[in-house]
Amino acid sequence: MADLSVTIAGVPFKNPVIAASGCFGFGLEYEDFFPLEALGGVSLKGTTLEARAGNRPPRIAETPAGMLNSVGLQNPGIDAFLREELPKIAGRDVVRIANIAGRSPAEYRELAERLRGAAVDLIEVNISCPNVREGGAAFGATCEGAVSVVREVKKAAGQPVVVKLTPAAADIAEIARAVESEGADAVSLINTLLGMRIDLESRRPVLRNNFGGLSGPALLPVALRMVWQVSHAVKIPVIGMGGVSSGRDAVEMFLAGASAVQVGAALFRDPFAPVKIIGEMNAWCDTHGVEYVRDLRGAASLWEDDPDWRLL
Ligand SMILES: Cc1cc2nc3c(=O)[nH]c(=O)nc-3n(C[C@H](O)[C@H](O)[C@H](O)COP(=O)(O)O)c2cc1C
């Protein structure tokens, strides 16, 4: 058995597999399948100051090797999160990650303030949601926007801060460097990539919101490329996600530079996916003589003799 433990921003994880925000509710949605403790961590549903009903349906569409969603941060608001949801998992042996989203830097700061002393180990700052009219990916697409949010959150946060980045940024490594210099303790990437599908009969978008975020296996190569770029641009840990569906995918994320992975859409296809991924990582490490999974982090090297590689 390999040692799968990792430490991110001073927080120890028993294994590096984390349920991704928006795909695991507030931690108890999969209790019929496996105990929460099987996971290294859980990133809880994105939470805003006020309750949000989310966007109108249909808000899910199938795609080749993936799915679109335009849920739009449906959540009961920070008060209900603290009062009703968090206490249900407060005593559980799993890293709890609150995922927050605001319409302004001040709102993000207030959310971080409200989480002070709460039973969460990390705060994941979502500056990358493509499905909301205000805030969301607009903050994550520019260094100025990203910095304005992280600066406010760091003034208030009682827990280490993970900044969740968007693939919509022109240069995601530049955004990562900007949030690192503002005090971010880790980054996670990638959030969904904006997409659309059109119904041939009605000639209308399938999603009532017109556009939605693409997740699932189709995203994996894009995510790997971005994890590679970001992990080579910053010193803080990188949590990789986007299409991770197997232990091999997770190992690939590590080789690209991730210190842990999150698993989202794969849960909808197979609710046991994260547990299987943990087992498959273990087996892969065993057959490859890897004692500590953390040793795999960033262990891939580019073909540097290719004259074009620097264009990255
Ligand atoms: C239905 C759904 C809801 C999501 N909600 C959130 C959210 O509230 N906050 C957030 O940061 N990311 C959210 N995401 C993005 C995922 O956490 C993840 O970044 C993305 O889906 C890529 O990973 P995957 O391919 O493993 O799903 C959501 C994704 C899906 C599919």
What would the mean pLDDT of 110-122 be, rounded to a whole number?
98
23, 129, 143, 285: which one is catalytic?
Answer: 129
Q: How sure is the predictor about 110, in pLDDT bands with cuts at 50, 70 and 90? A: very high
d(CA 26, ligand 1 centre) in Å? 13
pLDDT surpassing 90 at residue 305: no
pLDDT surpassing 70 at residue 132: yes
Kindly give, in sequence order, each residue whose CB lies less than 8 Å from that of residue 36, ignoring residues fewer than 6 positions away.
27, 28, 30, 42, 89, 92, 94
What pLDDT digit, counting tens, does each position of 48-106 carry?
A: 999 999 999 999 999 999 999 999 999 999 999 999 999 999 999 999 999 999 999 99
Residue nearest atom 3 in ligand 1 by C-alpha distance: 22
Q: How sure is the predictor about 304, in pLDDT bands with cuts at 50, 70 and 90? A: confident
> Peptide bond before 78: cis, by omega within 30 degrees of 0?
no
Domains contained in the chain, number: 1
* Any domain includes 1: no
Q: Which domain holds residue 248?
A: 6-311
d(CA 310, ligand 1 centre) in Å? 31
pLDDT surpassing 90 at residue 188: yes
What pLDDT digit, counting tens, does each position of 261-271 carry?
A: 999 999 999 99
Tokens found for residue 121 = 């180990």
What pLDDT digit, counting tens, does each position of 245-261 carry?
A: 999 999 999 999 999 99
Q: What is the CATH number of the domain that holds 190?
A: 3.20.20.70
Find the residues whose C-beta lies inside 6 A of ligand 1. 20-23, 45-46, 69, 71, 73, 99, 126, 129, 164, 191-192, 215-216, 219, 241-244, 263-266
* Any domain includes 28: yes
Kindly give, in sequence order, each residue whose CB lies less than 8 Å from that of residue 72, ignoring residues fewer than 6 positions away.
52, 54, 55, 59, 131, 132, 209
143 is catalytic: no
Ligand 1 atom nearest residue 268's Cα: 31
pLDDT surpassing 80 at residue 311: no
pLDDT surpassing 90 at residue 312: no
Find, among 151, 164, 168, the residue nearest to 108 by Cα.
151
Q: Which of 17, 21, 69, 263 to mutate to test the pocket of ligand 1 (most atoms within 8 A of CB)?
A: 21
pTM of the model: 0.97
